[in-house]
Amino acid sequence: MKSSLRQESRTSGEFDLLLDLAAAKGRRSALELALRDAIRAGRLRPGTRLPSSRVLARELGMARSTVSDAYSQLVAAGYLETQQGAGTWVASNAAARPVEEFEEPAPADPRFDLRPHLPDLNRFPRTAWARALGRALTDASDSVFAPGDPRGRPELRRSLTEYLARSRGAVTSPRQLLVCNGFCQGLRLLCEVLRERGARRIALEDPCLFLHPPIVRAAGLEVVPVPVDRDGLIVARLAETSADAVVVTPAHQFPLGATMSPRRRAALVAWAQENDAFIVEDDYDGEFRYDRQPVASVQGLDPERVVYAGTASKTLAPGLRLAWLALPPPLIAAAAVHRGLADRYAPVFDQLALAELIDRGDFDRHVRKMRLHYRGRRDKLLAAIRDAAPQLQPSGIAAGLHLVLELPPGLTEAAIVAAAQQRSIGLFGLATFRHGPFEHDQALVVGYGAPPDHNFDASVTALTSLLVDGHVTAVAAQTIS
């Protein structure tokens, strides 16, 4: 019989029990745990008779009541069975196999992160956010902690209404806003709402964010890919489909970077009006436009036809899971119902913190600061590309956190992306975002938001070296094949 201060293995004639008698909850609990573990591990098999509480208590040097309490607990929990006069035995259904216990390692982030979807997380305003959370937690009435409106906290919907009017030209009201856990949830909810109204097909830009097509399909709708050119979504091609709604990124097409032309914006709204269709305006990075004032949202042109979708994923961080839909009035009630059926409503504290930040002007100040920050990065990146590969014409540079590099003939994005991976450069080709049958140029999507400052220059250099070397590699590969 071994024993130590923390763990003792005690033998009771028939079986070993590893008892942790120093555990907080005392001897009864230790015995209960030890018996449970022995049953689970198969050391005590179904049907095995246990010693009477009197016998086991004597063997373990415990009070009899301690043992019988532990037995009672295990009977209540279904691990043991008992019958007056027949003793106590291990229950027949208690032979649970042990489950696997390993945790797979998280995939390593690339050393040079040029993926387009990430903002500079190093600039997340931790102090301001913690202060806003603290204030919100202090000021909140108790009712804030109770189940609330599926559309989200009224404080945030009020703040967002004003913010969206002044910064994005969106025409909305607290009543029409629905706070969601990121745009993906908003898209899923909208698909469910539209499906309920009879929609069958949702048009998506091709290319678009790779998350969107599976979400539309998960909601039971068909995805209709519509091509994109330098003026944004080709509305004439949309008109050839029988889509019931379309998801667009007019401020800065994702990933190609086009700003939708005025003519197309008008045609898009006209399409929706003529076809009794809805437009979902995914304004994922509308706050970041560099060379002139941001173009106002399409939603302002027809708030009855356009769902405006904004997010804090680029201005603050994706981990917040904070986004919002401005809904045409006929969709409000259904969206609230579907939110209720998905997860009821958004967690409250972060909502209150964002409302605080907006109301105090901190959010606008943060956005302005970040706009300068990203513009500086974009200019640096453009200069480096010009120096290293003057034949390349970066596009989509007017806004957002990424640009597009069309490759000259003979170069494939697959070869460059493969080479990038070997150098631990996070980089996507257009292929990642394609989901339709249309011809596309070979191009790279280069994000400049993600690297922290101390790594930004190195990331840019990693890219330019890759371009220089990649040119050679790719041509060589082509010659061989």
Alpha-carbon dihedral sign for residues 169, 180, 150, 364: negative
Check: CB of residue 366 under 8 Å from CB of residue 353.
no
Rule CB under 8 A: is residue 439 a binding residue for a second copy? Answer: no
Q: Which is nearer to a second copy, 165 or 382 (CB)?
A: 165
Sole window of 9-17, 133-141, 233-241, 423-431 interacting with a second copy (rule: CB under 8 A) = 133-141
Rule CB under 8 A: is residue 295 a binding residue for a second copy? Answer: yes
Minimum distance of a second copy from residue 3's CB (angstroms): 22
Rule CB under 8 A: is residue 147 a binding residue for a second copy? Answer: yes
Minimum distance of a second copy from residue 459's CB (angstroms): 14
Tokens of 452: 């922290």
By CB under 8 A, what part of segment 14-43 binds a second copy? 28-29, 36, 40
* 75-91 residues labelled b (16+ CB within 10 A) or e (exposed): eeeebbbeeeeeebbbb
Q: Write each residue from 218 to 257 as x if it is in contact with a second copy (CB under 8 A), else as -, in one continuous string.
A: x---------------------------------------
Q: Which is nearer to a second copy, 221 or 467 (CB)?
A: 221
Rule CB under 8 A: is residue 314 a binding residue for a second copy? Answer: no
By CB under 8 A, what part of segment 63-82 binds a second copy? 72-79, 81
Minimum distance of a second copy from residue 403's CB (angstroms): 20
Rule CB under 8 A: is residue 124 a binding residue for a second copy? Answer: yes
Nearest to 345 by CA among 354, 337, 333, 355: 337
Please pick, from the candidates 296, 355, 357, 463, the single residue that binds a second copy as defined by CB under 8 A.
Answer: 296
* Spatial separation of the C-alpha atoms in residues 105 and 107, rounded to whole Å: 6
Rule CB under 8 A: is residue 309 a binding residue for a second copy? Answer: no
Tokens of 439: 């011809």
Helix, strand or coil for residue 419?
A: helix
Rule CB under 8 A: is residue 273 a binding residue for a second copy? Answer: yes
Rule CB under 8 A: is residue 298 a binding residue for a second copy? Answer: yes
Check: CB of residue 338 under 8 Å from CB of residue 189.
yes
Helices (H), 209-283: 212-218, 235-239, 262-275
* Spatial separation of the C-alpha atoms in residues 105 and 93, rounded to whole Å: 34
Nearest to 346 by CA among 478, 85, 155, 92: 155
Minimum distance of a second copy from residue 184's CB (angstroms): 5
Q: Which is nearer to a second copy, 295 or 467 (CB)?
A: 295
By CB under 8 A, what part of segment 90-109 binds a second copy? 91-94, 96-104, 106, 109
Please pick, from the candidates 42, 47, 319, 376, the single residue that binds a second copy as defined by CB under 8 A.
Answer: 319
The enclosing H or E element of 125 equals: none
Nearest to 287 by CA among 203, 215, 367: 367
Tell me, by CB under 8 A, how many residues bind a second copy. 106
Please pick, from the candidates 5, 86, 146, 480, the single residue that binds a second copy as defined by CB under 8 A.
Answer: 146
Q: Write each residue from 397 to 436 as x if it is in contact with a second copy (CB under 8 A), else as -, in one continuous string.
A: ----------------------------------------
Tokens of 97: 């196999």
Minimum distance of a second copy from residue 344's CB (angstroms): 5
Rule CB under 8 A: is residue 44 a binding residue for a second copy? Answer: no
The enclosing H or E element of 106 equals: none
Nearest to 324 by CA among 166, 435, 187: 187
The enclosing H or E element of 326 equals: strand 323-326
What is the bridge-based pairing of β-strands 402-406 and 443-447?
Answer: antiparallel
Please pick, from the candidates 31, 44, 118, 245, the single residue that binds a second copy as defined by CB under 8 A.
Answer: 118
Rule CB under 8 A: is residue 175 a binding residue for a second copy? Answer: yes
CA R_g for the chain: 30
- Residue with tokens 């009899």, as numbered in its chain: 64
Minimum distance of a second copy from residue 228's CB (angstroms): 18
Rule CB under 8 A: is residue 276 a binding residue for a second copy? Answer: no
* Spatial separation of the C-alpha atoms in residues 433 and 449, rounded to whole Å: 19
* Spatial separation of the C-alpha atoms in residues 439 and 308, rounded to whole Å: 29
Minimum distance of a second copy from residue 127's CB (angstroms): 8
Q: Write each residue from 192 to 211 as x if it is in contact with a second copy (CB under 8 A), else as -, in one continuous string.
A: -------------------x
- The residue count for the chain: 481
By CB under 8 A, what part of segment 332-371 binds a second copy? 338, 340-350
Check: CB of residue 426 under 8 Å from CB of residue 450.
yes
